[in-house]
A and B are shown apart, each in its own frame.
Chain A
Amino acid sequence: MVSPEMQKLAEERAARMKAANELKEPDRVPFSGLGGDIIAAYAGISSYEYNFDFEKNRQAIIKWNTDFPADSPQGGVGGLDNLSLSVAFVDFPDLANSIFMLNGPMNDVLDMKFARFPGRQLDEYSSPQFIGGKNMEPEEYDELIADPQKFAYEKILPRISNNLQDMSSPKALATMARLGMVKAQQAAELMKTGQALAELGFPSGGGFGFGFAPLDYIGDHLRDLPNVVLDIRKYPDKVKAATRSILEVLFKLAMQNQHADTIMFPLHLNEYLSPKLYNEFYWPTLKEFILRLAENGKKSSLFCEGWHDPHLETFLELPAGWGRAMFEKTDVRKAKKILQGHTVIQGGIDVGVVISGTPAKIDEYMKALLGDMMPGGGYICGPNVGNLPRETPIENVAAVYEAIEKYGKY
């Protein structure tokens, strides 16, 4: 059972996040917390154990969130973006979203060509890795445009999953049954983890789902990133038409997350494109996606991988309060200048500083960051990328959390 004290803590944390998301000033700057491979290291387990053993994973998460409590819980069973499978099964709303994140045990069943997991294809202390690949020829754009879902099912799945190569084979059907078993077992484990986190005062409910810029689906899963960049020049009309078809499917998929109030978009191709190409090929369908979600009461949260500086102004085309932008390399101070009062900003902590700094330097770094970013509200403090390596000095991690308490009060 969750104690009244922990229930109160959960309410405070939720209120803090909510205030920032509404562009207001909460009682203290909300902090999304640090995490990644360090969580397994802190619990003394390998990355393999963390990714494959749900009991050890849960204990590691509990230990980390007990010692380093933030406003949202850190850790979980990691996974790799398996969007093609979700697109292929979008007509099965009970399945499409649950098969989106490919974790270790799921990959044991599916054997995806793009996936590498610790203790399997990688050293047991390594991180799970997505390696992409070209799974579609340019001649197939018309097929993709005509029916992205059918195309993903009939053409892409057999190319990316070794165990679904022949869809009508007994092996393919057995693979799906095994996948279902793994998912049901994991759902039971995740409920236990969720309960443990509730007992630590983390808000439950108000989950998030995933969304993707339609062009990223082509770059990450179909044509491979370097090819899509060339396609934009060679077959511009086909690429545009494809993004429009894909938008419909991805929107449907995102809306199937009935309990999600926020849809997270990990942007990928953004930093590869000039503002001209971004505005012509990437942004129109992404923008429409965000607007449609807003119409349906869902906020969006964009993780802008790499440099997003040339594209910052495009957010202003969205209505104020549309959602949140998280930045990796783009300076959050620069983003604040443009987006203050319009878009929630998240990030700011360069994990390089946490890895290589000293507690004193980190204290100073955090003080300066919060001093610049907090005024006016609408800011969530967090790392610029999600993964702290195993060797990160733990006293540096502690220094970040202490600085939040020290300098984060409004």
Chain B
Amino acid sequence: MVSPEMQKLAQERAARMQAAIELKEPDRVPFTGLGGDIVAAYAGITAYEFEFDFEKNRQAAIKWLKDFPADSPVGGIGGLDNLAMSVAFVDFPDLANQFFMVNGPMNDVLNMKFARFPGRQLDEYSSRQFIGGKNMEPEEYDELIADPVKFSYEKILPRIAGNLADLGSPTSLATMARLGMVKAQQAAEMRKTGAALAELGYPTGGGSTFAFAPLDYIGDHLRDLPNLVLDIRRYPDKVKAAAEAILEVLVKWTLQGKAAGAVQAGFPLHLNEYLSPKLYREFYWPTLKEYILRLREEGMRSRLFCEGWHDAHLDTFLELPAGWGIAAFEKTDVRKAKKVLAGHTCISGGIDVGVVISGTPAEIDEYIKRLLGDMMPGGGFILGPNVGNLPRNTPIENVAAVYEAVEKYGKY
């Protein structure tokens, strides 16, 4: 059972996040916490154990969150973006979201060509990795445009899932049955983890689901990124039409997450830093913008993780209504973003993990102090790392220095 004290803590944490998202000043700057490979290392287990053994994973997450509590939990079973499968099964709302993240045991069943997991295709101390690949020829754009769901099912799935290469074969049907078994077993484990997190004072409910810029679906899963940037020049109309067709499917899919209780949609942007403002505005942003607006109409907020440099595209956010959601940055300086977006867009990030990996506690204290000093005033800021993954060898005293600095300098 969750103690009244922990229930209160959960409410405080939720309120802190909510205030920042609503562009206000909370009691203390909300902090998403540090995590990644370090969580497994801190518990003394391999990345393989962390990815494949749910009991060890849960214990590692609990240990980390007890020692390094933030305003949202980190850790848990991670996975790789398996969007093509969610698209293929979008007409089955009980399944589409469950297939989205392919984790280690799921990949043992499916054998996805884009996936590499520790203890399987990789060393057991390695991180899981998405390696992409070209799964569609340019001649197939018309098919994709006509029906992205059918195309993803009939053409893409067999090309990306080793065990679904022949749809309708006994192997393919057995694979799906095994996948269902794995998912049901994992759901039971996830409930246990959720209960453990609630006991540590983390808010339950009001979760987050996923969303993707339509062009990223093409770049990450269909054409491979380098080919897509060439396609934009060679077949601009087809690329645009495909993005529009994909938008409809992805919105439907994200709203299935809303029906399951999500209030926020997380977009990991990928192609953004590859594109000039001209190409971004012509090919990437229109469908992404419409996606965000449609979710907002449905009462959802969006959180965009802007991978790499997003400097050139910052002002596009201003086309959205104030309070639309959160922009999280990797390389773009959050101070620069704040100048453009204060009072309009909640900003998240700011902690360069490179500093946490290679700095000293004193340097980190100073770094966080300055960061918070610049970013906190006026509210609408969520502190977090610029990328989600701290490597195994990150000095733990550096991690502690970040958490201490948040308490020291984070009060409003």
Residues of A whose CB lies within 8 Å of any CB of B are 88-89, 91-92, 94-95, 99, 153, 164, 166-170, 172-185, 188
**B153 contacts across to A, CB distance below 8 A:** 170
Asked whether A173 lies within 8 Å of B184 as measured between CB atoms, the reply is: no
Asked whether B178 lies within 8 Å of A95 as measured between CB atoms, the reply is: yes
Give bound CA distance, A177 to B180, whole Å.
4
**A153 contacts across to B, CB distance below 8 A:** 170
What is the chain B residue whose CB lies nearest that of A185?
A: B184
- Tell me which of B88, B170, B185 contacts A92 (CB under 8 A): B170
**A95 contacts across to B, CB distance below 8 A:** 174, 177-178
Asked whether B174 lies within 8 Å of A176 as measured between CB atoms, the reply is: yes
Asked whether A177 lies within 8 Å of B174 as measured between CB atoms, the reply is: no
Query: Nearest 6 CB-CB pairs, A to B?
Result: A180-B180, A168-B168, A184-B184, A176-B176, A180-B177, A177-B180
Answer yes or no: B230 CB below 8 A from chain A CBs. Answer: no
Asked whether B170 lies within 8 Å of A88 as measured between CB atoms, the reply is: yes
Give bound CA distance, A167 to B172, whole Å.
9
**B183 contacts across to A, CB distance below 8 A:** 177, 180-181, 184
**B164 contacts across to A, CB distance below 8 A:** 173
Q: Which residues in chain B, 175-199, are within 8 Å of chain A measured between CB atoms? A: 176-185, 188
A24 to chain B, nearest CB (A): 42
What is the chain A residue whose CB lies nearest that of B184?
A: A184
Asked whether A184 lies within 8 Å of B185 as measured between CB atoms, the reply is: yes
Give bound CA distance, A172 to B169, whole Å.
11
What's the tally of chain B residues with a CB closer than 8 Å to chain A?
A: 25
Give bound CA distance, A188 to B187, whole Å.
12
The contact sample of 21 A-B pairs, CB cut-off 8 A, is: A166-B168, A168-B167, A168-B168, A169-B168, A170-B88, A170-B89, A170-B153, A173-B164, A173-B167, A173-B172, A174-B89, A174-B92, A176-B176, A177-B95, A180-B179, A180-B180, A180-B183, A183-B184, A184-B180, A184-B184, A184-B185
Answer yes or no: B94 CB below 8 A from chain A CBs. Answer: yes
Asked whether A173 lies within 8 Å of B181 as measured between CB atoms, the reply is: no
**A185 contacts across to B, CB distance below 8 A:** 184, 188
Asked whether B174 lies within 8 Å of A181 as measured between CB atoms, the reply is: no
Answer yes or no: B315 CB below 8 A from chain A CBs. Answer: no
Answer yes or no: B173 CB below 8 A from chain A CBs. Answer: yes
Give bound CA distance, A91 to B185, whole Å.
23
**B168 contacts across to A, CB distance below 8 A:** 166-169, 172
Answer yes or no: B91 CB below 8 A from chain A CBs. Answer: yes
Contact with A along B87-126 (1 / 0, CB 8 A): 0110110110000000000000000000000000000000
Asked whether B184 lies within 8 Å of A179 as measured between CB atoms, the reply is: no
- Tell me which of A92, A176, A188 contacts B180 (CB under 8 A): A176
Residues of B whose CB lies within 8 Å of any CB of A are 88-89, 91-92, 94-95, 153, 164, 167-168, 170, 172-174, 176-185, 188
- Tell me which of B91, B170, B178, B180 contacts A178 (CB under 8 A): B180
What is the chain A residue whose CB lies nearest that of B153?
A: A170
**B167 contacts across to A, CB distance below 8 A:** 168, 173
What is the chain A residue whose CB lies nearest that of B180?
A: A180
**B188 contacts across to A, CB distance below 8 A:** 185, 188
Known contacts: A181-B183, A181-B184. The answer to whether A167 contacts B95 by CB under 8 A is no
**B185 contacts across to A, CB distance below 8 A:** 184, 188
Give bound CA distance, A171 to B161, whole Å.
18
What is the chain A residue whose CB lies nearest that of B157?
A: A173
B299 to chain A, nearest CB (A): 28
Give bound CA distance, A95 to B176, whole Å.
11
- Tell me which of B88, B91, B177, B184 contacts A176 (CB under 8 A): B177
Give bound CA distance, A318 to B182, whole Å.
43
Known contacts: A92-B170, A173-B173. The answer to whether A180 contacts B178 by CB under 8 A is yes
A176 to chain B, nearest CB (A): 4
Give bound CA distance, A94 to B177, whole Å.
10
Give bound CA distance, A177 to B173, whole Å.
8
- Tell me which of A176, A181, A182, A188 contacts B173 (CB under 8 A): A176
**B181 contacts across to A, CB distance below 8 A:** 180-181, 183-184
Give bound CA distance, A99 to B177, whole Å.
10
**A182 contacts across to B, CB distance below 8 A:** 180, 184
**B170 contacts across to A, CB distance below 8 A:** 88-89, 91-92, 153
Asked whether B178 lies within 8 Å of A181 as measured between CB atoms, the reply is: no
Give bound CA distance, A185 to B187, whole Å.
10
Known contacts: A172-B168, A174-B89, A188-B188. The answer to whether A89 contacts B174 by CB under 8 A is yes
**B88 contacts across to A, CB distance below 8 A:** 170
- Tell me which of A91, A92, A166, A177 contacts B179 (CB under 8 A): A177
**A92 contacts across to B, CB distance below 8 A:** 170, 174
Give bound CA distance, A180 to B167, whole Å.
17
Asked whether B178 lies within 8 Å of A173 as measured between CB atoms, the reply is: no
**A181 contacts across to B, CB distance below 8 A:** 180-181, 183-184
Asked whether A180 lies within 8 Å of B184 as measured between CB atoms, the reply is: yes
Asked whether B174 lies within 8 Å of A179 as measured between CB atoms, the reply is: no
B111 to chain A, nearest CB (A): 15
Give bound CA distance, A91 to B177, whole Å.
14
Asked whether B91 lies within 8 Å of A180 as measured between CB atoms, the reply is: no
B98 to chain A, nearest CB (A): 8
B176 to chain A, nearest CB (A): 4
Give bound CA distance, A168 to B171, whole Å.
11
**B178 contacts across to A, CB distance below 8 A:** 94-95, 180
**A180 contacts across to B, CB distance below 8 A:** 176-184
A72 to chain B, nearest CB (A): 28
Known contacts: A89-B170, A181-B184. The answer to whether A170 contacts B177 by CB under 8 A is no
Given contacts A92-B174, A184-B182, 12 further A-B contacts (CB under 8 A): A89-B170, A89-B173, A164-B173, A168-B168, A175-B176, A176-B173, A176-B174, A178-B95, A178-B180, A179-B180, A180-B183, A188-B188
A147 to chain B, nearest CB (A): 12
Give bound CA distance, A99 to B178, whole Å.
12
**A88 contacts across to B, CB distance below 8 A:** 170
B63 to chain A, nearest CB (A): 26
What is the chain B residue whose CB lies nearest that of A176?
A: B176
What is the chain A residue whose CB lies nearest that of B91?
A: A170
A111 to chain B, nearest CB (A): 15
What is the chain B residue whose CB lies nearest that of A184?
A: B184
B151 to chain A, nearest CB (A): 12
Give bound CA distance, A92 to B167, whole Å.
16
Give bound CA distance, A183 to B89, whole Å.
20
**A177 contacts across to B, CB distance below 8 A:** 95, 176-177, 179-180, 183
A67 to chain B, nearest CB (A): 31
